[in-house]
Structure 1
């Protein structure tokens, strides 16, 4: 996705959030389905026997637990911008990022505040 396309998508999702669009927005739900299908297309890594030398930083080791495509800023931000249409599966994806690559959850945490 081009940078301009992502910015347009993010702006649209932010506008939905700021306008208090309730859960059930058809396009947002379809987007969620595509994001979750993308997440599912990456195998869950088996780290049970994976030994990483101590000289490698913990942050680098954590990022290896998730494919780098799943920790890209645009993907994480788009998941978080689903707002009221975040379901249990989407939440578990965000929790997996928080557990396995917490530094890469920053785009979700730095979203603009909602207006009162």
Structure 2
């Protein structure tokens, strides 16, 4: 059985973690491994094949626009799909660490913009 995934540590305390970037997928990865051919595992595998619903899509605000704007993100998406489907949790973890590093270097502003939009939306719904 592989070790549990932990993604909330970064070498730089001001860096975003996977939980900051893609909280839904961070929570799911903490539940790995999932039983072979379980409904949960099949559902997650299907979501990983949908560009807007995969981990990278969640990071981009549940959007697939990154397919046209960032080749590295497109590559990360493909790697998440492959490593999850073949149950290579070691490679999945490595890919996740590389993605978090890439995100902090190139796209951290997106997370901050999305947090701002969520905050505005929450305030608007409670008024």
TM-score with structure 1 length normalisation? Answer: 0.27
Greater relative contact order: 1 or 2 (C-alpha under 8 angstroms, separation 6 or more)? 1
TM-score with structure 2 length normalisation? Answer: 0.26
